[in-house]
Amino acid sequence: MRVKFMVGAVVTALSTTTFSTEQPRPFYQTDMNPLTLGYAGPESSFPMIQKQGAWRWQMATNIANTVQADSNAMSGDNILIDAETTAIRLAVEYGLAERWSMVVDLPYINHGKGRLDGAVNEFHDIFGFPDGPRGDRPEDLFEVSYQRDGQYLVNVARPQSGFGDMGVSLIYSLDKSWVQDLKVGSKLKVPTGNPSRLTGSGTHDIAFWLSATNPLGNQFSHFLTLGGTLIEQDRGLLSDMRNSDYGFLSYGVAWRYSPAIDLKIQLDTRSAIYKQTALLPLGSATTVSFGGVLRLSNNYILEIAIAEDIAVGTAPDVVFQFNVTRNSSF
C-alpha cells in the first residue's frame, strides 16, 4: 500500500510540474541484428536543434535477444543467430551555429549468451507472440554462423565485445510553416569496430535522411523519418553479397499524457542490406516499438521501450531500450 502511494505521488508530481515544451521525438532505434548492426542509420533521437555553443549528451542501452535459424536448400544457405546483444551508446551533440548541430556517437557492443531467454519466452507466451525457432533451442547458448555451399562465411562460436563504429552527424533544422519540426541530416560512419567480432561492419558509410514532426490535435503528434545509406564496397563483413545502399523508414504516433509523460508507438522498416540470399535474417526487417518518455526534470529525460519483430525472423525477437538524455539547452 505504501509503495503504491509513493508511486502515485511521484507520477502526480511529475504530471503537474511545468516542463519545456519540446516536440515528441522518435524512439532511438538501432539495428541490433549481429550481422547488420554496424551500418549507418539516422540520428533521430534528439528532439530539437541545439542552440549555438550549447551541448547535451545521451546514453542509450539496447539489449536484444535473438534466436533465428533459416536455410535454403537451393542456394545451400544456412544461418543461425543465437545471441544476446547489448549496445551501450554515448552520443554528444553540440550547437555549431543557428539551426546547425553536430552529433558524435560511439557504441560499445557485447555479444553474449542468452541470459534473458527464459524471460523472453515468458513474454512471448503472455502476449501470444510467435516463438519461431526459439522452442527448438536450449536456453543460454551462443552461436552466430552463416554457411553457403558448406563453407562458413561467418562462424563466431564464443561471446565477443568491443567498441563499435563511430558516427559523426550534421543536422540542419528547416523553418517551414506547414510542419512544426523539420530536419535534414547526414551521417558519416567510420569503421572503428571489428567485423570479425561483429562489433562493426568494416566499412565507411554515409546516411542521409529527412525527419518531420507535426501535431494531430492537442495531445497527439506523429513523426516520420525517411532516408537511405550508401555503403562502401569491396571491404568489410560479407562484402561479396552486400548491397551498395539500403533505405529506411520510420513512422510513429505520440500521446502527451501529461507535461512529463509521452506514450509512443513506432514502426521501423528497412530494405535488405545483403543480396543473393533469401534467408530472412539477411533480408529486409520490420519492427514495432512501444513505450514512453518520462521527463524527470527540465534537464533529464528517461525513455523506455520494447521493440518486437512483427516480420518474424527478420530482426531480433525482442529489444529492450533504455535511454537517458541530459539536455543543457532547456
Q: pLDDT for 288-304, tens place per residue?
A: 999 999 988 878 999 99
Give me the pLDDT at residue 6, please: 41
228, three cell numbers: 537511405
Confidence bin at 45 (pLDDT 50/70/90):
low
Which residue type is seen at 29? Q
Whether 15 and 258 have beta carbons less than 8 Å apart is answered as yes
pLDDT at 117 over 90: no
> Would you say residue 157 lies in a domain?
yes
Give me the pLDDT at residue 177, please: 76
The CA dihedral of 211, 217, 220, 224, to the nearest 10 degrees, is -20
> Would you say residue 177 lies in a domain?
yes
CATH number at residue 318: 2.40.160.40
pLDDT at 115 over 70: yes
pLDDT at 254 over 50: yes
Confidence bin at 44 (pLDDT 50/70/90):
low
> Would you say residue 2 lies in a domain?
no
Residues 311 and 226: their CA atoms lie apart, in Å, by 20
Which residue type is seen at 311? A
Buried b (16+ CB within 10 A) or exposed e, 40-67: bbbbbbbbbbbeeeebbebebbbbbbbb
> Would you say residue 206 lies in a domain?
yes
> Would you say residue 1 lies in a domain?
no
Confidence bin at 123 (pLDDT 50/70/90):
low
pLDDT at 223 over 80: yes
Confidence bin at 311 (pLDDT 50/70/90):
confident
What is the residue-averaged pLDDT of the chain? 86
Rounded mean pLDDT, 242-251: 95
Coil, helix or strand for 308? strand
DSSP for 178-241, written as a single string? T-SEEEEEEEEEE--S-GGGTS--SS-EEEEEEEEEEESSSSEEEEEEEEEEEE--SSSTTGGG
Residue 125 sits in which domain range?
Answer: 19-327
Task: Tell me the pTM.
Answer: 0.86
Q: How many domains does the chain have?
A: 1
> Would you say residue 40 lies in a domain?
yes
> Would you say residue 9 lies in a domain?
no
> Would you say residue 11 lies in a domain?
no
Higher per-residue confidence, 149 vs 156: 156
Give me the pLDDT at residue 276, please: 87
Whether 296 and 323 have beta carbons less than 8 Å apart is answered as no
